[in-house]
Chains A and B, each alone.
Chain A
């Protein structure tokens, strides 16, 4: 899909431009759902209760990420079903390039974005008092999550269709590495005190 967008824009065909970034954007939304749980708990104290009963903070942190990815999976499957169904219904078929775009760019980018935005959002939340607006991680996440996908698209358009696939794969690798690095550093960047409500 990503490649299709680059081609269609380069060829002056804007018809297919709306679909390619959908999964990475939905990845951001998946991250926001899990972030809601995390942000909300800073005044609820459920995590505090779980730690008191022996559940390690690292497991809580990873469970929030897992929740984001599970929510994203549901949304991804539904979106792809609708997208594929529409293509078939409109008689456009399922070309190899379409499958390649989904497998190489859209799906990994959506999971990488969800994991990265969830982890980064939790760290951001934990550094500040609960508040509304752009200082809230929920205000930050759309920018944090959508920006990489749009940035990659702009770069791909600049370099042209021949190199677009390399840009896409490189972006996916960078986002996935960033997400894995944040997950690995989770317990260090998010000590148990950060999970507690104000005393």
Chain B
């Protein structure tokens, strides 16, 4: 869906209007080289908005422009009705960079205290985020001594020092182990009940799990902004894992542990499963093998 001007769906309340983030005809980039081209959208509903795109599509540039780090060559970014360059606008917004954004020479607690001062948070908030991200035992360690995953946790802890209305999270789960990535996603899901969260990721399954809306960038242009549930795969393929192989599965293609079958849509799944059961197939697991988000990259 080519999209020069799109907005998130749903009734916009006056309260939500206060936290609206808008991008109108924005072109921006680095030292005169345009990366984003004529990007327009408005988000005014609390939810998680996943920003997807191949490498070089402009995801990080979009986040930097929305955060006011890069100034648009054309167009404008506003929070509510105010330009992002106004300090009052920035106070509604948290930005998590794709790099750590934490200085090596400090201990974890010192770094978080520094960020608490920048964000005018309370000293007690430092202990709260140390507990939230389970990094209390790292508080006296120097950041240079931490692993990439531990550094990422400290970096994420910074975002929770103070509550804001809009969160720009550029690859927040990169370098994290699966357990911690899941915990971070849970925290972010909790945020999305009353906050606007823009979230970029290269992990399409994660994007599908956490996202409610998707923005797709390609070549610096916004080519899609829609609810993820509205996306449909070009090919709907299900995989069936069974307790014992039988001849009833001869029409399926075996791939690893899964017997694959392409259907015209999810509405055909119940009938197929009933048919397999009547033919004596003992089903252990059924899953959708194709992720509709994958099609966005083709």
Residues of A whose CB lies within 8 Å of any CB of B are: 40-41, 43-46, 48-54, 191-194, 196-197, 199
Contacts and interface: CB of A to CB of B under 8 A. Distances in A.
B267 interface: no
B100 A40 contact: no
B97 A50 contact: no
Contact of A53 (B31, B61, B90): B90
Contact of B99 (A45, A53, A191): A45
Given A49-B97, A193-B31, A199 B103 contact: no
Contacts, number: 62
8 contacts: A44-B99, A44-B103, A46-B103, A52-B69, A54-B90, A192-B69, A192-B71, A199-B60
Contacts of A45: 97, 99-101
A49 B95 contact: yes
B102 interface: yes
Nearest to B143: A44
Contacts of B100: 44-45
Q: Which 5 A-B pairs have the closest CB atoms?
A: A45-B99, A45-B101, A49-B101, A52-B95, A199-B60
Interface of B: 30-31, 35, 60-61, 64, 67-71, 87, 90, 93, 95, 97-104, 115, 118-119
A43 B118 contact: no
Among the interface residues A49, A54, A192, which one has the most CB atoms of the partner chain B within 10 A? A49
A199 B60 CA distance: 6
Nearest to A55: B118
A48 B87 contact: no
B99 A43 contact: yes
B97 A48 contact: yes
B118 A53 contact: yes
Nearest to A191: B31
A83 to B, nearest CB: 30
Contacts of A199: 30, 35, 60-61, 64, 98
A172 B102 CA distance: 38
A52 B67 contact: yes
Nearest to A41: B103
A44 B118 contact: no
A144 B216 CA distance: 47
A30 B163 CA distance: 39
